[in-house]
Amino acid sequence: DHRDLHSFPTRRSSDLVENSLDAGATNISIYIEHGGIKSVTVIDNGHGIEEDDLYMAIQPHATSKIFEAEDLESISTLGFRGEALASIVEVAEVEIRSRFYKSDEAKYITVKGGEVVDKGDCALSVGTSINVSSLFYNTPARFKFLKTPKGEEANVTRLINDFMLSNPHISFEYSVDGELKSQNEGTGLLDTVYSVFGDDVAENLISVSFEEKHHKITGYIARPATNAVVGNKKKQTFIVNGRIFEDDTLSSVIQNAYGERLMKRTFPIAVIDIVMPFELVDVNV
Ligand code: ADP
Ligand code: MG
């Protein structure tokens, strides 16, 4: 499916980080090279993978979660996206290193084109490290469906920023071509807002806090006429129950609330975190 190839490095980086979150990680490091086309590495301090399960994890049927999940809520929180690792190992070289939290030793497997080509012991503290390289080595025609390295990089960066903002109690570290791009302490939204937007912008954000029967809304929005008001909506981030979503209605509400305080075609940076009963969420959103 060509749509699945589009932004492959971004989508697969997303899958890897989701897996780290599913594993209960509180520390996640992401390293990409050449927009993630050359390599993507995600290292976490989650519960790790038992040796036997390393082989299971790359099988297409590794996901039984959807059959266990009783309702939409559990599906959404179990992080079911299905067969991410299986689809990556088919088209790239993948090294999975992991130390299970009950184990004294770490193991690795190297998988290429779906086959295990190497395995053994390695040194690692509890958690998992997954490195994806040689993308599309066996199907080079697929490269033409990717964006340029800069385009892929921009998408991965936006993705990681979204992960940071929607998981402000997790500490992330994100590096591009060996250079540290962002890092937060995992101590809450304010710290994360500084990491994502930089000090100059974050200083011009005002905190938002509102609560009524079913909704608790917190976040940060731009002070008018400052550099926290920008030329596009891409830096407006909406989170409902821990998940990022996009919604033009909410953007319009914000735009209208500022009214005359905004110059034409400018948009306030905003991070709006909504917590509400799951059954009141329109799942299409
Ligand atoms: P899914 O997440 O839908 O089960 P994946 O292909 O993403 O499918 O992952 C397969 C399995 O590999 C996961 O269910 C999990 O058991 C294991 N796994 C993958 N990444 C990690 C990780 N970072 N930490 C612990 N376990 C992991
Ligand atoms: Mg997964």
Per-residue pLDDT reduced to its tens digit, 16-26: 999 999 999 99
Q: What percent of the chain has pLDDT over 70?
A: 89
Q: Which residues of the chain have pLDDT under 50?
A: 78-79
- The pair of structure tokens assigned to 159 is 């993705």
Cβ proximity of 18 and 81 under 8 Å: yes
Kindly give the distance from the C-alpha atom of residue 207 to the centroid of ligand 2, in angstroms, as a whole number: 34
Q: Which bound ligand lies closest to the C-alpha atom of 83?
A: 1
Q: What is the CA radius of gyration of the chain?
A: 20
Number of C-beta neighbours around residue 145 at 10 A: 14
Over the stretch 117-157, which tens digit does the pLDDT of each residue have? Answer: 999 999 999 999 999 999 999 999 988 888 999 999 999 99
Q: DSSP label at 271? A: E
Residues with CB under 6 A from ligand 1: 15, 19-20, 22-23, 44, 46, 48-49, 57, 62-63, 65, 79-86, 128
Alpha-carbon gap, residue 79 to 218, rounded angstroms:
24
C-alpha 94 to ligand 2 mean position (Å): 15
- pLDDT confidence of residue 76: 52
Predicted confidence at residue 60, as pLDDT, reads 84
Backbone angles phi, psi at 72, to 5 degrees: -55, -35
Read off the amino acid at residue 10: T
Q: Which ligand sits closest to the CA of 128? A: 1
Residue 85 CA, ligand 2 centroid: distance in Å: 7
Number of H helices, E strands in the chain: 10, 15
- Ligand 1 closest atom vs CA 83: 6
Q: Are strands 236-240 and 243-245 parallel, antiparallel or unpaired?
A: antiparallel
SS3 state of residue 152 = helix
Q: What is the pLDDT of residues 229-258, one digit of tens each?
A: 999 998 999 999 998 988 899 999 999 999
Q: Measured in angstroms, how far is the CA atom of residue 57 from the centroid of ligand 1?
A: 6
The closest ligand to the CA of 80 turns out to be 1
Alpha carbon nearest to ligand 1 atom 16, residue: 57
* Burial track 69-105 (b if 16+ CB lie within 10 A, e otherwise): eeeeeeebeebbeeebbbbbbbbbbbbbbbbbeeeee
Ligand 1 pocket test, pick from 16, 22, 51, 131 with the greatest ligand atom count within 8 Å of Cβ, gives 22
Q: Counting ligands in written order, which one lies closest to the CA of residue 129? A: 1
**Which of the listed residues 77, 85, 100, 163 should we mutate to test ligand 1's pocket, taking the one with most ligand atoms within 8 A of CB?**
85
Q: Which two tokens stand for residue 85?
A: 């690792």
Both tokens of 184, joined, read 């937060």
